[in-house]
Amino acid sequence: MEKQSRRYKKLADKYRDGNINQSWLCYENARYHCTKEEDRTGAENFCLECQKEMELLERSPNFSVAKTAIIILSYNHGELTKACIESIRQNNAPGTYELIVVDNASTDGVQEWLRKQEDILLIENEDNQGFPRGCNQGIALAGKNANIFLLNNDTIVPENAIFWLRMALYENERIGAAGSVSNQVVNYQQVPEQFDTTDEWLAFAKKNNVPMEYPYEKKSWLVGFAMLIKRNALNAVLEAEQAQLKNAAPMALDTRFSPGNFEDNDLSIRLLLAGYQLRLVKNSFIFHYGSKSFQKMPERFLALLKENQKKLAEKYGIDLIPASRIETALVDMVKPDKPSFRVLEIGCKLGASLARIESRYPKAAVLGIEGHELLARLAKNVVPVISGNFMEVPLPEILADGKYDYVIMDGILSPGDEGLLAKAGNCLKARGTILACICNTQCISANVQEQTHTKMTLEQIVHLCDCCHMQIREFNYRTAELSPTERQQVSELCAAFGSQMRPLYEAEKFVFEISL
């Protein structure tokens, strides 16, 4: 097996003529791995060669690699904090990072251990300041030019995880932040694999955190459990906000979301508004134990989630969380017979579904159309987007590069929308497919009935397709989360009218594949 030092030096040579920052990072990583490998034959010369190349790259006016300031908040669970810090030390080259720990008044003795660590800048709060305020304290203490890595203390950082985040951050100047995948995380950042032990997960990480041909997925927000933020991007956000604020200084993390949750959504939105892009890095796996502090108070945690989601919606005038969701049922129905194909999504919201398709099929060409001004503005930093009402956008503008293999319509069809469906059909190639997801009016779930999404009955959907001379080729549905009482109602209705009626009562959404 090729030594990692040689592998990363080859990568450095490859990037040298295209991206000097990524080339420099690869030389740095090659030098680091050389010092760890058992066979030290020629190690000194190899490291000197890498160092020489790094120094040459540093002379370029385009060189901009900065150290990483790792911000960790500590609140009890001292053994987890220690394990997290030890994993950073073990798997990252000294001098490439600085460790800043903000302790939020722990009572388990971890402060005493932290005080003894010579490589840690420690802030000791007299009371629990929460996640946003604590992170802001750590960021204020970080080196002036250092990139900011927000990291939960209940994580284990495997080899190369931070390296690949840094590589993503320097892919181009528009990247504002990069986030890791994990075993336990929301926002579709969780890997599909399943293991029982930490050791198994770390073995998975060793195989995962390696060079990939297509390692990135564009995102509309990143989870703050492991989020690397480019300092220049953060400064740009804060400077823009400073110009708008009269009597208050801007905050890296908005403290209205204290003690925590949705401050990472908010920072992601602010980065997008400033014109930056976000990347999920599939070859940066970080193990996550998951919300140890909040697990002890699940009811309070759920109440906090609802409260902070409401605050986020109030801040931007729209609930952005549903707009950031990936409709996986529709994405899974994209089954191209060739690498290059074209996808149009009408009402693409924040572009999350299109970004997932683009990540799965890197040679696909995607385009979204979004009528909501803010959503369109944000989505344009995720995927290509036309801003405007689909029915008002001229077909030549939509079809500038040709017709589409797939047209996605997620929650936008209503009874009487024959014109909308017909225009969508006009965007299709001869053998193209419309993929539609529609909320079910007849679902007996109280939660579904409270939703404001456009709804239709199954009969209305069939009628709409018939009016447009279209055929339903495939039909599926997603079952709603029903209460015991509601499940009993479904059973009684099926007993009265037949089991074939079950989808009419328990389906939250219908998913269709429609052809001309």
- Residue by residue, DSSP assigns 206-257 as HHHSS--SS-EEEES---TTEEEE-HHHHHHHHHHHHHH-SSS---SS-GGG
What 297-302 contacts at long range (C-beta under 8 Å, 24+ apart), as own/partner pairs, is none
Mean pLDDT confidence for 159-170 = 98
Q: Within this chain, do residues 298 and 361 fall inside the same structural domain, yes or no?
A: no
Provide the pLDDT for residue 82: 97
Provide the pLDDT for residue 296: 55
Asked if residue 413 belongs to a domain, the reply is yes
Q: Within this chain, do residues 233 and 245 fall inside the same structural domain, yes or no?
A: yes
Q: Which residues contact 359 (CB under 8 A, 6 or more apart)?
A: 214, 216, 217, 218, 280, 282
Helix, strand, coil percent content, the chain, rounded in steps of 5: 45, 20, 35
Measure the CA–CA gap between 410 and 195, rounded to whole angstroms: 33
Asked if residue 363 belongs to a domain, the reply is yes
% of the chain with per-residue pLDDT over 70: 96
Asked if residue 63 belongs to a domain, the reply is no
Mapping DSSP to helix (H, G, I), strand (E, B) and coil, where does residue 340 land? coil
pTM strictly above 0.85: yes
pLDDT of 40 over the 80 cut? no
Asked if residue 317 belongs to a domain, the reply is yes
SS3 letters across 282-300: EEEECEECCCHHHHCCHHH
Q: Within this chain, do residues 294 and 336 fall inside the same structural domain, yes or no?
A: no
Burial of 348 (0-12, 13-18, 19+ CB in 10 A): buried
Q: Within this chain, do residues 303 and 333 fall inside the same structural domain, yes or no?
A: no
Measure the CA–CA gap between 331 and 318, rounded to whole angstroms: 25
Asked if residue 140 belongs to a domain, the reply is yes
Q: Within this chain, do residues 266 and 125 fall inside the same structural domain, yes or no?
A: yes
Give the total number of structural domains in the chain. Answer: 3
Q: How many CA within 13 A on the CB side of residue 380?
A: 13
Amino acid at 200: E
Measure the CA–CA gap between 418 and 421, rounded to whole angstroms: 5
Say which CATH number the domain at 374 has: 3.40.50.150
Mean pLDDT confidence for 4-10 = 94
Provide the pLDDT for residue 287: 98
Residue length of the chain: 516
The answer to whether residues 124 and 103 touch, using CB atoms and an 8 Å cutoff, is yes
Measure the CA–CA gap between 131 and 74, rounded to whole angstroms: 10
Asked if residue 418 belongs to a domain, the reply is yes
The answer to whether residues 215 and 357 touch, using CB atoms and an 8 Å cutoff, is no
Neighbours of 192 (CB within 10 A): 4
Q: Within this chain, do residues 154 and 266 fall inside the same structural domain, yes or no?
A: yes
Q: For 57-87, b where at least 16 C-beta lie within 10 A, e where not — what string?
A: beeeeeeebbebbbbbbbbbbbebbbbbbeb
Distances, alpha carbon 46 to alpha carbons 39, 41, 42, 359, 431, in Å: 12, 9, 6, 36, 56
The answer to whether residues 427 and 407 touch, using CB atoms and an 8 Å cutoff, is yes
Q: Within this chain, do residues 46 and 103 fall inside the same structural domain, yes or no?
A: no
Measure the CA–CA gap between 250 and 239, rounded to whole angstroms: 8
Domain hosting residue 24, numbered range: 4-58
Q: Within this chain, do residues 378 and 501 fall inside the same structural domain, yes or no?
A: yes
Q: Write down the residue that tokens 């490589």 correspond to.
A: 119
pLDDT of 397 over the 70 cut? yes
Provide the pLDDT for residue 452: 54
Span 446-473, pLDDT tens digits: 766 666 557 888 899 999 999 999 999 9
pLDDT of 236 over the 80 cut? yes
Provide the pLDDT for residue 298: 75
Span 57-66, pLDDT tens digits: 999 999 999 9
Provide the pLDDT for residue 291: 62
Measure the CA–CA gap between 176 and 283, rounded to whole angstroms: 18
More confident residue, 445 or 348: 348
Q: Within this chain, do residues 300 and 399 fall inside the same structural domain, yes or no?
A: no
Mean pLDDT confidence for 48-72 = 96
Mean pLDDT confidence for 64-82 = 96
Mean pLDDT confidence for 105-122 = 95
The answer to whether residues 285 and 300 touch, using CB atoms and an 8 Å cutoff, is no
Q: Within this chain, do residues 209 and 353 fall inside the same structural domain, yes or no?
A: no
Of 306, 321, 336, the position where a domain reaches its end is 321
Q: Chain-wide mean pLDDT for the chain?
A: 93
Burial of 14 (0-12, 13-18, 19+ CB in 10 A): middle
Name the β-bridge partners of 437. 410, 511
Span 429-443, pLDDT tens digits: 999 999 999 989 888
Of 321, 346, 370, the position where a domain reaches its end is 321
Asked if residue 134 belongs to a domain, the reply is yes
pLDDT of 247 over the 90 cut? no
Local confidence band at 325 (pLDDT 50, 70, 90 cut-offs)? very high
